[in-house]
Structures are given as structure tokens and as C-alpha cells.
Structure 1
Amino acid sequence: MSSERERCNSRHFTWIMKTCFPNPHQTTTICPQPYHPTTTLPITTTTITSLPDDVVLECLCRVPPSSLPSLSLVCRRWARLLHSSHFSDLRRRRSLLHHSVFAVVATDSGFCAASLTDGAWKIALFHPCYDAVALDDFHFLLAHARLASIGPRIFVIGRNAMVRYDTWTSTLSPRSAMNFPRKKFASAVVSGKIYVAGGGSRSTAVEEYDPDSDTWSVVSYAQRRRYGCIGVSVDGLFFIIGGLRIGAAGEGNEFSRATGGADAHAAYASSMDLFDVEARTWLRSRTVPGGGCVVAACAAAGNVYVLTSHAVELSFWKFDARRKSSNHGGGGGFGDWCRIKSPPFPVQVRVDTRMRFSCIGLGDKVVLIQVNGWCVDEMMRSGRSVREGMVLIYDCGSGEWRRGADLPDLFRRAAYVGVEC
């Protein structure tokens, strides 16, 4: 985009702000030609504030992305429209959305965020957390938090609390906590609302968060209890993938410790449950091929991408999650699973409790972040863990991987999310 299109100076904003409010001193009348004393017609000045929302949205969606943060400060109505799902949907249809990966971490000094932009990690915010949330509380909040983004806003969802980070205004604000405490749960955004499931032993409730009213509500109950599951969304569906299936025979020590010993029986779940958000119905579950442990998942370009592990072997799978038009809203007609090119790690990676991956969908790209873990070659030499901080990017169109900018040391224990605005 040219620099001229990106330019938006204070004079332009002064005019924009004036047009938001009618002029109380406007008394102009116009006399059409030919003039006749009985045909003088008063003219009411038309301002932006008198236009309907859909017309204003059409105007705002054409503004250069660099000017959107400033426009959100013009008035409350514009802020509401710019943060609405309608604005994001409109820009998405016009291919105007910009995608970034954000990393969020709690340091000894405060809250810190970085974004992967133009091939490099850049510090986006440092906040001492004095007014939004205490630093010790924020460390606890991020320990097992899930991140969800709606437009330019990132919601950090913890076990007993939630914080909203606005990437446009660089501000933090506390939000309402979930009704049921959860740990290592699934979360995803569908049609501008956040959905969570799993991660608890007391209830199978699926909760919905409305950012406009800052409220959580139970919308359904899951078919099975899961712990350590992953959530993604495609085509109006909330996918709950992998984790430990609670209640089956097997090892459940981690879940037992997390829940105080309740329901220790568990087994790895190589499946995904599908919840239709609009219809409030559950579709037939799908089995993840290969029978391995799901270690990461995301959605991109209408597909669900899943990374599975078999000890030292990683496999990468794609599921066509776009529903067929004849079955839309019904039992669900989908494409097939397809094994695709595995991520090109330079050495074999042993997946265990010290290993963690994050998988983020960004438009037609998948960003895979290896946070830490065991490299088999190094382990055989020294027995020590190696933190890679590696970032790999998969192009959904070409089917090829490429190396991205490695994580800075500070963000190797962060939480990650994709942001589009």
C-alpha cells in the first residue's frame, strides 16, 4: 500500500470529528431557481452521525489500516462499529484484513506483548499492570491461559479471571471470568463470540462469552469431558480436539493433580467433537487419523490442521471442515482427512511433558511455534532439554514450509494468538 494512501493527518481527523455531530447553529436555506417566495425549502445538513450503520461501515472499511486505531477514538459509535464482527467480516470479504501473531507474557516487571510483523518480532506493549491486574495475579492468569482474539482485541482467559488487551490503544482491562473454573481447556471465536469447553471435572458445560455485554452463559453440554484439549472454529462450528478423555481407563495423573484427585481415569482422545453454534446442536464426532496424541491444532483457509505425535515422530494432518451446501445446518457433510508434509525440524523432537507447541492460523498460513522440548540427538549426548524457540510457517496453498523468525528469549514461555484487523 502506498505511503500516500496510509497518510492521515490531524486536519483530516478534525474534519471527520466535526462531521460526527450536527451543527446547532446551522440555519442555511436554499432558494431553487427560478425563485418564487412560496417555494423556499429548508435544507438540513447531513452528517455522518445521521447515516445508518451499514453505510458508515462501508466508509470505514476503506480507511487505511494504519488510521483505524485513531478512528476508534473519534466517538463511541465508531469504536463500537470498528470492533464489531460486521466490520471484520466486511474487510475479510474485501481481502483487507491484516494478520499478525501476538505473544503475551508476564515478566518480573509487568505485562509484555510482541507481534510477528514483516518477518520480525517487535515489542508491541509493555505494561506494569498496576491498574488492570496485580502482577502476581497476572503470572497466575497466564500460567494455563487460553488466548482468543476478536478484531484487534485479545482476551486472556485464565482459570478464574480474564483480561482484555486492546492492540490498537495498548490498554489492559479486566473482564468477567468464566462461570466454571477450567484449566487446559478448548476455546475458539465463532461469529464474534468466544466459546470454551473442557478443562474441568465438575461440569461438561460449554460456555459462550459476549464481549458487548461482558457476560458468560452456558449454551450446551459437551458429549464427553476432556482435559488439555484444543479449540478451533470453521464455518460456524466449534471444534474440540484431542486432550485427555476423562472417565476412561488409563493414566490420569496430570488431570488428578489439577482437579484435586477427582476422576483420575483418563486416556488420550484422538478425536474431535463438533458443535454447531447457531443451531446449538452436536454433529457426529470425527476421529483424528493415526491414533497419536494431538499436540497442536488450528484452523486456516477453511481447514482444520492438526499436529500429532507418536513418541519421536510428528505427523501433520488436514481436515476439510467446510460443510457442503446441501448439508449446511444438518448432519454435516465434510471433506476428508489428508496427511500433508510434516514440519521440517532440523533434529528429531521428543514430545513429552516438557514439550509444547502452539499452532496459529493466519489467513492462508499456519504458524507453528515450538516453545521447548527434547531434541533426541542432543539428549543422547548430554541428557539436557533444548529450548528451540523455532517458528515455522506453512503455506496452505503451496503446501510448503519455511522458517520464520525465532522467538526472542523473553517470549519462549508466552501464550500465542493470531490477530486480524
Structure 2
Amino acid sequence: MSESCNSRHFSWLMKSCLPNPSDAKSLVPIHHHANPPATVTPISSLPDDLLLECLSRVPSSSIPSLTAVCRRWSRLLLSPYFLHLRRRLGLLRHSLFAISAVDSGLFAAVLQIQSEVPSWRVSLAVCNDGGQGSLSHARAAAIGPRVYVVSRNAVLRYDAWTGTVALRSPMIFPRKKFAIAVVSGKIYVAGGGGGSEVTAAVEEYDPERNRWEVVTHAARKRYGCIGAAVDGVFYVIGGLKIGNETSVTSRGTAAHVYASSMDLFDVRSRQWLRSRSVPGGGCVVAACAAVGHVYVLSSHAVELSFWRFYARRGGGGGFGEWTRLKSPPLPAQVRLDGTVRFSCVGVEDKVAVVQVVGCIDDLLRRSGRSERGLRESLVLLYDTVDGEWRRAADLPEMITRAACACVEW
């Protein structure tokens, strides 16, 4: 890719801004005896801020071709300011994104829930740098159109605009079953670990520098925890305590406290706020942030409960209040045991998405049943305005053990 722009790489939109040499009218000289002849300024000579203003207005379908024009354009399209401009112009849309690793690459699926007939769009992306095979139990976090798939030993960046995958720097502390969330364009991870070792380090990832660093240490080490972020606060929710306890009773108590509570880390002040307990005493199995709230899904062995935590810290009060909501209507064949896991994603400012992912093959083998049509695919949508659930399109068959996020593109 060249450093500077060349007109033969321009899209039809950019070429329309330049004079057409084959147009006879454009070749007719215009004589101004009093003033010197006007010069044409090519778009490539514009400063970055003006060029970004132009590029931010192109349709989404043209963005992949724009990134191939030159390195300068590719760099500008990757900048946070480009996303800011498109967001300000109302040209970004939110979609539910699911990604899973296979031997040949990554299967990515996008569901536009705002469509009249929502359906999944699936694509296969190949990582030239390798590394996709080690994404078991990976977590996903999205910054604009780019999804960062974070696993114990590898981090991949998937670009929803271009469908390309790039290998990024791994976490400092290898960990699995950790909490992850995005705050102010940076990724934060906490908890998790490997084997009996659970780390207390909270890491921050800067996408622009492709660098991880430890920003604090948590007072409680959580394994199997879930992350969410609202109003500059990183919520580390649920999970279990793995460590030495003096008695069986104390181990049971510690596990219960961890599984039904959340720790709050203020990213700006680098301070931990007062921990909160999830009502109902269940085990948190999924959580997400949407519309200034944290939504929590808890399991009570035979049923699920769904809660909303008011997370806005501004004026008006109400911070920290819990509200119980209508539970998701699960089909009868979905059992609440170790073979089923859940993922919760906030999409748009009015919808919280709960995706139910079950290891149905294991369930059928253990129960001895041979039923057909059961696979890890169920997707339910909760409307935060009317408080109702509805079933969305099931995940495509090739998307298994998916990591999910909300993509803005």
C-alpha cells in the first residue's frame, strides 16, 4: 500500500470531486485578466481534519475500499475521531455480534435486531498471523466496529467493516473465565486465571498503542466472573473464590458471597467503590450494561431471575437501586445445569440481549436422549422500554461456543 493517495485508487465518490479530463466543458479555458487562474486542490492535499470530515460521510459499504487507497486513509479510518464523526452524523448502527474459532479461521455472525425481519449474516475470516485455535473460553469486547476476542494466551482484533483479523498483544497475566468491559475506548479485564491460581491484577488495554498494563489490584480474586461498564465504572460480577479456606463452612460461605455480588472499580479515579450484593441470593450467570443500567441474570438451580441495577452516578439520586424484572421465557428442554451457559449483551439504548448458549450435545449424551433440533442457539431479546421478551433468530449452526458483543459500525 502506498503512503500517498493516487487517483486510480479513488472510489467513484472521490472521483466525482475531481474534474473529468474527457469532459470538453472542463477543458475550455476561462480567462480572468484581472485575477490569476484558479488552481484545483486535490482531496489528497487536505489536512487530516478536513479529510476526515469528508470520509466520515461515505456509506458503510464503501469503507472497505477506502482503506485500500493508501496508508494515510487507512490510518485515519482506524482513528477514534472517525468513529466520533460518524456517530455524531448518526451513521453508526448497533448489532449483536457472535464469533467462534474453527481450524480454518473465525466464523463471525451479525444480527441487526432493528430490521423488520432480523436474520444472521455469517462470514469466515482468516487470521494470517495464526492464533485462532487457542480461543477456547474467549471473551469479546467491541470498540466501534472492531471486536477484540481475548483468550488466555491470544488476542485477535476482528474488523466488522473489512472482515479482516489481526493478532494483537496478549494479556500480561494469562487467564480464563475473567471479566471484561470497555471504558472510554479502552479494554479492562479482571479476575480469572488458570488452575488454582487466580490473579488479582486488573489490566487495561490501549488499542492505539497495542499495549496492556496493570492499573490496580482487586481485593477479591474472582474466577468465572463477568464484566460490565456504565458511567466510567468497571463492574466485576459474580464468579467463585478459589483459594485456601480453613473449613468447609467458610468455603461455602465465600463461594456464595462471590457468586451473588459485584465489585465496582472507578476507572478515572483508580479507586474501588463499595461492593454491592445482587438480590435473591442466586448465582450470577450473565450480565451486561444498557441504558445506564447493569442487567444481571441469576440462576437459582431450577429457575432464573433477572435484575436491573441503576448505575448512573449523576444528579437525581437512585444510584445502587435494584429492580426485579420479568424472567426470560426459556423453553422446557433447556435445563439449568452445568451443561448450559448464558451470555448477556446490551444492544442499542432500549434493548438488553440475553443469548442462551447450551452445550446441548453433552446434555443429550448424559441423559441418554436422542432428540433432534437441540443445539446451542437460543437468542432472546428483552425490551427495556415495554419490559417484554421475544425470541430472535437462533444462532447459525456453525457458530458454537460463541463470544458475543455489541458492534457499532
TM-score range, shorter chain: 0.7 to 0.9
Q: How far did residue 45 of structure 1 move?
A: 5.9
Question: Corresponding residue for 2:324?
Answer: 339
Question: Corresponding residue for 2:96?
Answer: 101
Question: Corresponding residue for 2:212?
Answer: 216
Residue pair 1:365, 1:394 contacting (<8 A) in 2 also: yes
My pick for the range that moved more, 286-295 or 243-252, is 243-252
1:278 maps to which of 268, 280, 287: 268
Q: How far did residue 92 of structure 1 move?
A: 3.6
Matches for 1:15-94 after TM superposition, within 5 Å? 35=34, 48=43, 53-94=48-89
How many angstroms apart in 2 are the aligned matches of 1:292 and 1:417? 24
How many angstroms apart in 1 are the aligned matches of 2:313 and 2:170? 33
> For the structure 1 residues 108 and 31, does the alpha-carbon distance in structure 2 shift closer, same or farther, using more than 3 Å as the test?
closer
TM-score by length of 2: 0.80
Matches for 1:164-183 after TM superposition, within 5 Å? 164-183=157-176
Q: How far did residue 68 of structure 1 move?
A: 2.7
My pick for the range that moved more, 235-244 or 79-88, is 79-88
Look up the SS of the partner of 2:398 in the other structure.
helix
Look up the SS of the partner of 1:350 in the other structure.
coil
1:161 maps to which of 154, 158, 162: 154
1:300 maps to which of 274, 290, 298: 290
Residue pair 2:265, 2:273 contacting (<8 A) in 1 also: yes
**Please, which runs of 5 or more residues in structure 2 have no aligned partner?**
1-9, 20-29, 249-253
Q: How far did residue 55 of structure 1 move?
A: 4.4
Q: How far did residue 408 of structure 1 move?
A: 2.0
Residue pair 1:84, 1:192 contacting (<8 A) in 2 also: no
Q: How far did residue 306 of structure 1 move?
A: 0.7
1:323 aligns with 2:317: no
1:419 aligns with 2:407: yes
2:224 maps to which of 222, 225, 228: 228
Once the two structures are superposed, residues 348-403 of structure 1 have per-residue CA deviations (whole angstroms, 9 ceiling, x without a partner) of 743222111111111122221111167xxx99996689535211111122221111
> For the structure 1 residues 61 and 164, does the alpha-carbon distance in structure 2 shift closer, same or farther, using more than 3 Å as the test?
same
Once the two structures are superposed, residues 30-68 of structure 1 have per-residue CA deviations (whole angstroms, 9 ceiling, x without a partner) of 9998x4xxxx77977655556555544444433322223
Identity across matched positions, percent: 57
How many angstroms apart in 2 are the aligned matches of 1:89 and 1:248? 48
Residue pair 2:102, 2:132 contacting (<8 A) in 1 also: no
Q: How far did residue 316 of structure 1 move?
A: 0.7
- 1:61 is aligned with what amino acid? S
1:309 maps to which of 288, 294, 299: 299
**Please, which runs of 5 or more residues in structure 1 have no aligned partner?**
1-8, 20-29, 253-264, 328-332
Residue pair 2:105, 2:124 contacting (<8 A) in 1 also: no
Once the two structures are superposed, residues 322-352 of structure 1 have per-residue CA deviations (whole angstroms, 9 ceiling, x without a partner) of 111499xxxxx72511111111123274322
Q: How far did residue 409 of structure 1 move?
A: 2.1
> For the structure 1 residues 126 and 87, does the alpha-carbon distance in structure 2 shift closer, same or farther, using more than 3 Å as the test?
closer
Q: How far did residue 158 of structure 1 move?
A: 1.1
Q: How far did residue 219 of structure 1 move?
A: 1.1
Look up the SS of the partner of 2:135 in the other structure.
helix
- 1:395 is aligned with what amino acid? D
Question: Corresponding residue for 1:371?
Answer: 357
Question: Corresponding residue for 1:144?
Answer: 137
2:179 maps to which of 182, 186, 192: 186
How many angstroms apart in 2 are the aligned matches of 1:104 and 1:269? 27
How many angstroms apart in 1 are the aligned matches of 2:376 and 2:165? 30
Q: How far did residue 248 of structure 1 move?
A: 7.4
> For the structure 1 residues 96 and 323, does the alpha-carbon distance in structure 2 shift closer, same or farther, using more than 3 Å as the test?
farther
> For the structure 1 residues 291 and 68, does the alpha-carbon distance in structure 2 shift closer, same or farther, using more than 3 Å as the test?
same
Question: Corresponding residue for 1:12?
Answer: 13
How many angstroms apart in 1 are the aligned matches of 2:201 and 2:102? 33
1:405 aligns with 2:376: no
Once the two structures are superposed, residues 161-217 of structure 1 have per-residue CA deviations (whole angstroms, 9 ceiling, x without a partner) of 111122222222211111101110011111111111110235311111111111111
- 1:394 is aligned with what amino acid? Y
> For the structure 1 residues 250 and 300, does the alpha-carbon distance in structure 2 shift closer, same or farther, using more than 3 Å as the test?
farther
Residue pair 2:145, 2:407 contacting (<8 A) in 1 also: yes
Question: Corresponding residue for 1:330?
Answer: none
Once the two structures are superposed, residues 108-143 of structure 1 have per-residue CA deviations (whole angstroms, 9 ceiling, x without a partner) of 44322222234111212243x4x321xxx533x221
> For the structure 1 residues 93 and 289, does the alpha-carbon distance in structure 2 shift closer, same or farther, using more than 3 Å as the test?
farther
- 2:206 is aligned with what amino acid? D
